[in-house]
Structure 1
Amino acid sequence: MDRQQKLITLLAFACLGACQGGADNMQQKDIRLITVAPGHFHAALVQKSMYPEVDSVVHVYAPEGPELKAHLALIDQYNTRADNPTRWNEVVYQGEDYLEKMLEERKGNVVVLAGNNQRKIDYISRSVDAGLNVLADKPMAINKEGFSKLQQAFATAKEKDVLLYDIMTERYEINTMLQRSLSQVPEFFGGLVEGSPDQPAITKESVHHFFKEVSGKPLVRPAWFYDTKQQGEGLVDVTTHLIDLVQWESFPEEIIDYKQDIELLSARRWSTSLTPAQFERSTGQAEFPSFLSSSLGDDGNLAVYANGEINYRLKGIHAKVSVIWNFEAPQGTGDTHYSIMRGKYANLIIRQGAEEQYKPRLYVESTGERDDDAFENALKKAVDQLDGTYKGLAYEKVDDGRYLINIDPSLVTTHEEHFAEVTEKYLGFLQSGTMPEWEVPNMIAKYYLTTKALEEAETVSAP
């Protein structure tokens, strides 16, 4: 018996003790989590924190294998850390009939999904059909067929009075939050310009890396992560976050009707090449599995269509999102994000390059519509107005008409911490029994655009 099998056994016995001696506590915890096939580390990040309204016993249903072991190892790491350890009791069912077993036993009322994206939409549909709430990692749909199933899942969720929600962590990044807030001060920003395909009103670009560290340890990815039929292409994966932010920032709390408000202008895709050595370093597997054979080039390298760009109009405003995946970031760097919102009086720009030491920073630049003194005066008033929400907010001039927004360190949280913030938001929805009326139609709009863009890009030649 290896260490991980011992962990599974110990956790199961720990749960038995807790359940036998803690019935009253169980009754006080109305929300009980079920984790299904946790093939992505995001499933564990939901449990990096404890939540007062969530029972500490979590039922896990998954096939036996390294993905389950990696998930439980992360939970164990959170449970045994020196600083503010968690107290999760994982009760594990291993078997190929894991989904049927979960639906039969119904040991909880919230299904957490983060793993194989090809199967995810079916997990969502089956869970919602069974009257279970679902908190799902992005993307919930990776193709046109999946989008149709997702639409039906949202309709069923409404009928069953359950909540289906995706994990949009980037709404909780402080620079993005401030970019949104400053754009909503009309006396300073002046409203979004209409823009054009060559100069969109809002642009979101991100660069990601296949090999990285999570919770201080190298991330081992499953081989299927590199199969776009299972993981999804870049156009339908990370762009989910970017499109969500475009909607969330440009038209906050407004309903997006995908049939009327979205016009796809163009979409393109291209691949990242991985050598056999890079694949082995990332997955631990010495050879490419057979399901990747169709993606191997004559040079023996793997072509992964992880990159993409979408140009579109949203309620008449031109927008562009793009994503690039490289294998590994240069030493001292990491994933990066660039974003610009163009207003009548100001441009709000997030940069994360060498000048920013690869940490996101928010800049404000004058468009020249006002003289320098009038622009700085308007900026001061906007910052003072936001100080009630964001304590310690300040700005400094870095050039004529260009300013850096200084953010108090207490407002900065990490990507991993954002998962707890999303989960807490969702738990609030569960306790109130409802979500804001714009959330569901805007999720539908988001996945319509990603899957439509993929369909479009597949018909044109990649560069």
Structure 2
Amino acid sequence: MASCSTKTQEANKEAIAANTETEVTSSDKIKLITLDPGHFHAALLQKSMYANVDPVVHVYAPEGDDVQEHLKKIEAYNTRQEDPTHWKEEVYTGEDYLQKMLAEKAGNVVVLAGNNQKKTEYIKTAVDTGLHVLADKPMAIDTESFLLLKEAFASAAKNDVLLYDIMTERYEITTMLQKEFSMLPEVFGTLQKGTPTDPAITKESVHHFFKYVSGMPLKRPAWFFDVMQEGEGIVDVTTHLVDLVQWECFPEQAIDYEKDIKITAARRWATNLTPAQFKQVTAMATYPAYLTRDVGKDSLLAVYSNGEINYRIKGVNAKVSVIWNYKAPEGAGDTHFSVMKGTKANLVIRQGQEQGYKPQLSIEPAKDTDLVAFEKTLKANMATVQQKYPGVEVKKAGDAWIVTAPEKYHNGHEAHFAQVAEKFLQYLAAGKMPEWEVPNMIAKYYTTTKALEIAKQKSSTSSRR
């Protein structure tokens, strides 16, 4: 991670010292500050309005395409025909945008979604000055930034502010139901321990550089393809997968990364983009200078966006992997595959062509199970699930049961940002988060950054052979 210059760091410290004691004036409303938005997730948090959140949002950013693309998305939400939002963006652009934010302290919650090279420093600076932070993943992209993130959590606790990351995948209904069925011992049994070659839990996520967001083709910033600024895939999207492993397998349990996490293997590999593909998704005719180091034969841009982590967590073997392709097949989008192996049944989420590229959860009994008895047990336990998720049903398909949920639960990835925001607002109102959240965020970013360290060492060793 590239650090700020010494001069900039000193300016930040002076601004923090001058403003730490400043109280946010006006009403009890939450006032948002958007700092250096460069990822579309910053805008998705404003696709909805929220009770007790001031519609005036203060934006601080350097001049350039990143902030302009962000403002275009907010304007599109404000002017849409159905349920338009009414955000008012107060924008400051200038080289001293960070110092200006600290001096004005125009809000009490900083929203961060952008260049990950700077993000951890932004987080630390914000909590040091007494501001809450809601940050997009990843909050750390290497070992150095992980150590700084640990300091940020300590500072947040000292200054009585909340630091939270945006884990949208906890709100995807098939994942929620996978977790729910895993807590039915009569159906699932207990989670197996697995082995490194046959893990008890597997999660794989497939993403695409070219995609549509809110109905429009997404224009990505060129820095998104620079792993020094965006981070490698093994520390980016895998953040969600590692989070889900912790959240599903050990619900509401604190994870101690020093005792509970052991990386057994990790690897990384590149996706190659043509100049035409790069131009289509960035609107740039040539590669910027900082990407030329990654340009090889036939002008292909190698992006280390793919990664796999094998690890043990509290004695359970897990594997998470992320794959980035350029564009999804027709009718498809980003996809998710997940298996939780129980002593009585496996819980499997598939999202391939056979499922119409929509996530589908199946309950698959262990080999030699009496299927008639299993079905009777499963149906007897459905009341527990339906009490929490009314309308959820199971339907036999061969030797498995497909779980179906009413359409109202399938609200889509973009809607999950509002759900995360609502949860964070609840935590702000309570003045605290569940005790397991902070240690588990720390454990999560240790897992991803340590895996990157191991994968890069492996790549370096392989290249010397």
Shared fold (TM-score, shorter chain, > 0.5): yes
* Residue equivalent to 2:393: 394
Partner-residue secondary structure (3-state), 2:59 = strand
1:270 aligns with 2:273: no
**Where do residues 271-420 of structure 1 align in structure 2 (5 Å cutoff)?**
271-368=270-367, 370-400=369-399, 402-420=400-418
Structure 1 residue 368: Cα displacement: 2.7
The equivalent of 2:447 in structure 1 is 449
Looking at structure 2, the residues matched to 179 and 430 of structure 1 have their Cα atoms a distance apart, in angstroms, of 28
The one-letter code sitting in structure 1 at the alignment partner of 2:286 is: E
Distance 1:355 1:114 in 2: 34
State the secondary structure of the residue aligned to 1:453: helix
Q: Which residue of 2 aligns with 1:205?
A: 204
Kept in 2, the 8 Å contact 1:45–1:419? The answer is: yes
Where does structure 1 lack aligned partners over 5 or more consecutive residues? 1-25
Structure 1 residue 66 displacement after superposition: 1.1
Distance in 2, matches of 1:166 and 1:369, equals: 43
- 1:439 is aligned with what amino acid? E
1:43-82 to 2 correspondence within 5 Å?
43-82=42-81
Letter in 1 for 2:446: Y
Q: Deviation digits for residues 131-152 of structure 1, max 9, x if unmatched?
A: 1000000000000000000000
Q: Is the 8 A contact 1:183 1:189 kept in 2?
A: yes
Q: Deviations over 1:407-449 (max 9, x none)?
A: 1112221100000000000010001000000000000000001
Q: Does 1:153 align with 2:152?
A: yes
Aligned to 1:146, what secondary structure does the other structure show? helix
How far 1:382 sits from its partner (Å)?
Answer: 2.4
Tell me how far apart the structure 2 counterparts of residues 269 and 380 of structure 1 sit (CA, whole Å).
43
- 1:320-371, Cα deviation, whole Å (9 max, x unpaired): 0000000001111111100000001010000000111000010110013631
TM-score between the two structures when normalised by the length of structure 2: 0.93
- Give the equivalent residue in structure 2 for 1:102: 101
Could you tell me which amino acid in structure 2 is paired with residue 453 of structure 1? A
CA distance in structure 1 between the aligned counterparts of 2:357 and 2:369, rounded to whole angstroms: 31
Post-superposition CA distance 1:203-239 (Å, at most 9, x none): 0001000000000000000000000000000010000
- Is contact 1:344-1:369 (8 Å) kept? no
Distance 2:193 2:305 in 1: 29
Q: How far apart are the structure 2 equivalents of 1:327 and 1:313?
A: 31
AA matched with 1:94: T
User: In 2, distance between residues paired with 1:174 and 1:37?
Assistant: 32
Distance 1:376 1:190 in 2: 14
CA distance in 2, matches of 1:451, 1:71: 28
**In structure 2, what is the Cα distance between the partners aligned to 1:111 and 1:292?**
30
Aligned residue for 1:422? 420
Structure-2 residue corresponding to 1:85: 84
Separation in 2, partners of 1:387, 1:440: 31
Judge which range, 63-72 or 433-442, deviates more: 63-72
Distance (Å, rounded) in 1 between the aligned partners of 2:381 and 2:58: 48
The offset of 1:28, in angstroms, is: 4.3
> Which secondary structure does the structure 1 equivalent of 2:229 belong to?
helix
Instruction: Check conservation: 1:29, 1:55, Cα contact below 8 A.
Output: no
Q: Match of 1:17? A: none
Which stretch shows the higher mean deviation, 129-138 or 406-415?
406-415
Distance 2:378 2:455 in 1: 41
Task: Report SS of the residue matched to 2:137.
Answer: coil
**Counterpart mapping for 1:168-179 below 5 A:** 168-179=167-178
Question: How much has 1:64 moved relative to structure 2?
Answer: 1.2
The Cα of 1:264 is off from its aligned counterpart by 0.5
In the TM superposition, what is the alpha-carbon distance from 1:27 to its structure 2 partner?
A: 4.2
SS of 1:249's partner is: helix
* Equivalent position amino acid for 2:407 in 1: P
Q: Residue in 1 aligned with 2:162?
A: 163
Deviations 1:166-219 (A, max 9, x none): 000000000000000100111211110111112111000010000000000000
1:13 — aligned with what?
none
Q: Over aligned residues, Cα RMSD in angstroms?
A: 1.1
The CA distance in 2 between the partners of 1:380 and 1:387, in whole Å, is 11
SS at match of 1:30: coil
Shift of 1:110: 0.2
Q: Residue in 1 aligned with 2:429?
A: 431
What do residues 225-274 of structure 1 show as CA deviations (whole Å, max 9, x unaligned)? 00000000001000000000000000000000000000110000000000
Q: Is the 8 A contact 1:182 1:382 kept in 2?
A: no
CA distance in 2, matches of 1:137, 1:406: 30
2:289 is aligned with what amino acid? S
**Comparing 212-221 and 360-369, the one that deviates more:** 360-369
1:281-313, CA deviations, whole angstroms, 9 ceiling, x for partnerless residues? 010000001101110112211000000000000
Q: Does the 8 Å contact 1:345/1:369 carry over to 2?
A: no
1:253 match: secondary structure: coil
Q: Percent identity?
A: 60
- What SS does structure 2 have at the residue aligned with 1:459? helix
Offset at 1:130? 0.5
Q: Secondary structure of the equivalent of 1:127? A: helix
Cα distance, 1:86 vs. partner? 0.8
| Partner AA of 2:405 in structure 1 | I
Equivalent-residue separation in structure 2 for 1:87 and 1:239 (angstroms): 34
